[in-house]
């Protein structure tokens, strides 16, 4: 079955510092036309970092759109379409937490909001995690580092304390495969 939608026209309705929003008219496979809102995003990298004490490195930060502080793995947008996501993952770990990693291994890629956006997330596993970062968070990021053991992660998951999709994916990976 052909499910392809073909763009007929596109109008930019917002141009921002890291997202752009378009209203597109598409031709559906059945020949009908429909409107699609598309949020273009440069992509992002996230990192699952585990200390030598077997504690996962998380951050708690306020997420204004949802009106609450969320517990998340370190992550951030790519600095343009050409930035290496692995480099971004290492950078975000060092900026958002006291930790660094000598390298990262790609676990998975996924789209965060495919119903209206093209953001592609690159999820990495950090290797050789050390508490020696000299970097700090961006000026507009107020972040609290949090370390959780496997048992604490299981309890947090069971009691619905983690609401962030990338973090749910990363923690399930850690519990199942590491």
User: Within this chain, do residues 90 and 61 fall inside the same structural domain, yes or no?
Assistant: yes
**How confident is the model at residue 118, as a pLDDT?**
97
Q: Is the pLDDT reported for residue 152 higher than 80? A: yes
Same-domain status, 96 and 168: yes
Distances (CA, A) of 63 to 36, 100, 102, 134, 156: 26, 24, 29, 25, 19
Same domain, 139 and 158: yes
Residues 27 and 53 both lie in one domain: no
User: Are 69 and 16 found together in one domain?
Assistant: no
Distance CA 107, CA 173 (A): 9
Question: What residues are annotated to the active site?
Answer: 139
CATH number at residue 142: 3.90.79.10
Q: Is residue 142 a part of any domain in this protein?
A: yes
Percent of the chain with pLDDT over 90: 94
Residues 34 and 121 in one domain: no
In whole angstroms, give the CA distance from residue 79 to residue 21.
Answer: 18
pLDDT digits (tens, 9 = 90+) for 38-91: 999 999 999 999 999 999 999 999 999 999 999 999 999 999 778 999 999 999
> Model-level pTM?
0.94
For residue 133, give every residue at least 6 positions away whose Cβ sits within 8 Å of its Cβ, in sequence order, or none: 93, 94, 95, 97, 98, 99, 100
pLDDT score recorded for residue 136: 81
Do 96 and 130 share a domain, yes or no? yes
pLDDT of 141 higher than 90: no
Task: Look over the chain and give the mean of its residue pLDDT values, rounded to a whole number.
Answer: 96
- Higher-pLDDT residue of 140, 48: 48
The confidence score (pLDDT) of residue 81 equals: 76
Same domain, 22 and 81: no
Q: Is residue 122 located within the same domain as residue 169?
A: yes
Rounded Cα–Cα distance for residues 43 and 27 (Å): 26
In a domain, 121, yes or no: yes
Check residue 132 and give its pLDDT: 95
Please give the Cα distance from 78 to 75 (Å, whole number). 10
Assess whether 71 and 155 both reside in one domain. Answer: yes
| Domain ranges, residue 171 | 44-177
Q: How many separate domains does the chain show? A: 2
DSSP label at residue 115:
T
CA 162 to CA 62: how far, in whole Å?
13
Same domain, 128 and 60: yes
Q: Within a domain: residue 1?
A: no
Q: For strands 20-27 and 56-63, give the pairing.
A: unpaired
């Amino acid at each position: 079955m052909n499910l392809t939608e073909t763009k007929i026209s596109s109008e930019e309705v917002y141009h921002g510092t890291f997202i752009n929003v378009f209203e597109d008219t598409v031709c559906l496979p059945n020949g009908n036309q429909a409107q699609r809102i598309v949020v273009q995003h440069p992509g992002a990298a996230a990192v699952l970092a585990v200390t030598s004490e077997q504690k996962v490195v998380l951050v708690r930060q306020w997420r204004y759109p949802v009106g609450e502080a969320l517990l998340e793995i370190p992550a951030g947008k790519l600095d343009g379409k050409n930035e290496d996501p692995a480099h971004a993952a290492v950078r975000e770990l060092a900026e958002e937490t006291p930790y660094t990693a000598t390298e990262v291994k790609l676990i998975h890629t996924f789209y965060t909001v495919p119903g209206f956006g093209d953001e592609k997330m690159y999820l990495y596993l950090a290797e050789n995690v050390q508490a020696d970062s000299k970097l700090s968070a961006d000026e507009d990021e107020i972040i609290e580092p949090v370390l959780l053991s496997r048992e604490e992660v299981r309890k947090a998951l069971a009691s619905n304390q983690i609401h962030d999709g990338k973090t749910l994916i990363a923690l399930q990976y850690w519990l199942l495969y590491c």
